[in-house]
Amino acid sequence: MFVPKQVMATSHRTPATVNALPDDGRVSFVGAGPGHPELITLRGLERLRSAEIIVHDALVPTSILDLASSRAIRIPVPRDATTGDPGEATGRLLVELALAGRRVVRLKGGDPGVFGRLTEETAPLRAAGIPVEIVPGVTAVLAAAAAADVPLTSRSAASNLTIVTGHEADDKVSPVDLEALAALPGTLAVYMGVARAGRWAAALVAAGRSSATPVTIVSRCSWPDQQIATATLGTLAQAFAEHQWPSPAVVIVGDVTAPRPSADTRALAGQRILLTRPAGQADELAAAVATLGGEAVHLPVVRIAPPGDWAALDDAIGGAATFDWIVFASVNGVRSFAARLRAAGRDARLLGTARLAAIGAATAAALGEAGLACDLVPATASSEGMVAALLPTLRAGRVLLIRADRGRDVMRRELEQAGHEVVEVAAYATRPVATLDGDDEARLDAAPIDWVTITSGAIAEGAVRLFGERMRRWRIASLSPVTSGVLTALGFPPDCEALDSSAAGLVEAILRWQEARRTDHASPAELA
């Protein structure tokens, strides 16, 4: 590309603050947002991915740090250093790294410019002539208001929003004037207000704000254990003492937070539904739940691992053309088969005249994604359904079964009994998830679970092992009669069962159960 000399010359005179891509030796202050990795900006994500060094607030969750390159060096800085000036010390560290020519991101919670010590941290950089870039982030109150369904301004209730700290540094030049604030109508967002909630709430009331003014508290906004609660200025201190909402929390004060009747009339609105399938396999169910207004909580109880060794699968793939049918019991089986076929440098031609069968529409769709056409999907998505569909097509046939390392043996037994030759191959292993980590526990306990969805016998066993007696408090939705049988044998009979063994079928079963409940409880007048 032709670049005129003059332009090249001017581009070297970099201004102190720029909005272009960071070059070596430039420091980007990136707002991480409130905590959930989806709430960072695209520009922030780009800077994070290309950073060599990330200097981050200790509170930024690992789920956001993990968006960065795994080669990037992470340096946490404490937010509340007790000695010296934490802002300037961090600024000096940034100068050192930038002068060493490293691509540095300073990752800060929320927006870098809101209670972010931005002035202190950028001062040493500016003094050293190092260019600084600011990438904005979603500040806590914006995320909190969205989560709590609170409009921060409204034509009827508030035409201004004030962001204020509830934790004043003693030596601050301009302390928060709570009297003036009390006189100002509109919405108040109090950051760092947990420790001294009683003090600032009382000061606002003493200065004339009504003690009945509604407040909304959002604790750990967008984190797995987010909590939302309401109180009034008069009851706030007591509410904090009773509930001990964990930090960080932001408090929104003003008439905009007055409770309104929920407008969401979707069938699963307000319900939390636990999804237990392995990672990467719960998307369809999660989407169905979300569409109906429910909250899907995904905690896999089994994980998918490679089989003990690949030899059996590789052999079977090598001899694929010698089979009449290759039967896939699950999406994982298809993926593993297709991946090994590709890894061997082969393609569909290796399968010759073998026909392909799949249990369930999702498995058939996975074949399609792998570029393989499915010849048969039995009407009933079960091993029995598959045997019933295959038998009429076979005379002394050879059948290859691609499946998990454990599970039922029905297909092999019945096909062999009917005189066919069966080769069974484990294309993947399912391993139980042994324990819940702290994050998982927090997500489970953040609010009551309404339903747990169980989609196979192995998952039923994994769920009972992992959740135990907790499951007694939840309603259980089962994917199929076989799954229900395992649940019942474990002492946890399901409350409902899908008619059609699919994500949609499972959600329909939950809706049918609710509908039956509603009709049971309807008054005679309603039914008439």
CA nearest neighbour of 104 among 27, 19, 45, 44? 27
Does residue number 217 form part of the binding site for ligand SAH (CB under 6 A)? no
Q: Which of 29, 115, 200, 428 binds ligand SAH (CB under 6 A)?
A: 115
Nearer to ligand SAH, 87 or 457 (CB): 87
* Cα three-residue angle 454-456-461, rounded to 5 degrees: 80
Does residue number 116 form part of the binding site for ligand SAH (CB under 6 A)? yes
In which element (H, E) is residue 467 found? helix 457-467
Does residue number 457 form part of the binding site for ligand SAH (CB under 6 A)? no
Cβ neighbours of residue 96 closer than 8 Å, sequence gap 6 or more: none
CB of 143 to ligand SAH, least distance (A): 7
Does residue number 139 form part of the binding site for ligand SAH (CB under 6 A)? yes
User: What is the rounded CA–CA span in Å between residue 27 and residue 98?
Assistant: 7
Nearer to ligand SAH, 122 or 281 (CB): 122
Strand bridging mode 227-232 / 214-219? antiparallel
Which residue sits closest to ligand SAH, CB atoms considered? 110
CB of 248 to ligand SAH, least distance (A): 4
Does residue number 107 form part of the binding site for ligand SAH (CB under 6 A)? no
CB of 157 to ligand SAH, least distance (A): 22
Binding part of the chain for ligand SAH, among 66-74, 80-88, 217-225, 296-304 by CB under 6 A, reads 217-225
Binding part of the chain for ligand SAH, among 48-56, 173-181, 214-222, 280-288 by CB under 6 A, reads 214-222
Does residue number 95 form part of the binding site for ligand SAH (CB under 6 A)? no
Provide the 10 A C-beta neighbour count for residue 276: 24
Under a CB-based contact definition with an 8 Å cutoff, are residues 256 and 144 in contact? no
Binding part of the chain for ligand SAH, among 103-111, 126-134, 334-342, 409-417 by CB under 6 A, reads 103-111
- Within 6-45, the residues that bind ligand SAH by CB under 6 A are 34-35
Q: Is omega for the bond preceding 248 within 30 degrees of 0, making it cis?
A: yes
Under a CB-based contact definition with an 8 Å cutoff, are residues 415 and 387 in contact? yes
Q: Is the dihedral of CA 234, 236, 237, 243 positive or negative?
A: positive
CB of 391 to ligand SAH, least distance (A): 58
Does residue number 192 form part of the binding site for ligand SAH (CB under 6 A)? yes
Nearer to ligand SAH, 219 or 271 (CB): 219
DSSP string, 228-254: EEEEETTTHHHHHHHH-PPSSEEEEES
Q: Which residues pair with 423 in a beta bridge?
A: 400
- In single-letter form, the type of residue at position 267 comes to A
Nearer to ligand SAH, 22 or 31 (CB): 31
Does residue number 411 form part of the binding site for ligand SAH (CB under 6 A)? no
CB of 175 to ligand SAH, least distance (A): 17
Does residue number 114 form part of the binding site for ligand SAH (CB under 6 A)? yes
Does residue number 111 form part of the binding site for ligand SAH (CB under 6 A)? yes
DSSP string, 43-66: HHHHHHHH-SEEEEETTS-HHHHT
Coil, strand or helix: which one is 81? coil
- Applying CB under 6 A, the site for ligand SAH has a residue count of 22
CA nearest neighbour of 257 among 148, 338, 178? 148
User: What is the rounded CA–CA span in Å between residue 225 and residue 214?
Assistant: 23
Per-residue contact track with ligand SAH, 229 to 268, x per CB under 6 A?
A: -------------------xxx------------------
CB of 386 to ligand SAH, least distance (A): 49
CA nearest neighbour of 403 among 379, 429, 371, 432? 429
Does residue number 131 form part of the binding site for ligand SAH (CB under 6 A)? no
User: What is the rounded CA–CA span in Å between residue 108 and residue 513?
Assistant: 46
CB of 239 to ligand SAH, least distance (A): 16
Binding part of the chain for ligand SAH, among 221-229, 234-242, 258-266, 280-288 by CB under 6 A, reads 221-229
User: What is the rounded CA–CA span in Å between residue 249 and residue 246?
Assistant: 7
- Within 276-315, the residues that bind ligand SAH by CB under 6 A are none
Q: Which of 44, 91, 110, 254 binds ligand SAH (CB under 6 A)?
A: 110
In the chain, what is the straight-line distance between the N-terminal and C-terminal CA atoms, in Å? 79
CA atoms within 13 A on the CB side of 104: 26
* Cα three-residue angle 504-491-405, rounded to 5 degrees: 65
Nearer to ligand SAH, 106 or 475 (CB): 106
Binding part of the chain for ligand SAH, among 102-110, 198-206, 461-469, 477-485 by CB under 6 A, reads 102-110
Q: Which of 64, 134, 205, 218 binds ligand SAH (CB under 6 A)?
A: 218
CB of 509 to ligand SAH, least distance (A): 36
Under a CB-based contact definition with an 8 Å cutoff, are residues 430 and 454 in contact? no
Q: Where along the sequence are the contacts to ligand SAH (CB under 6 A)?
A: 34-35, 108-111, 114-116, 139-140, 144, 191-192, 218, 220-223, 248-250
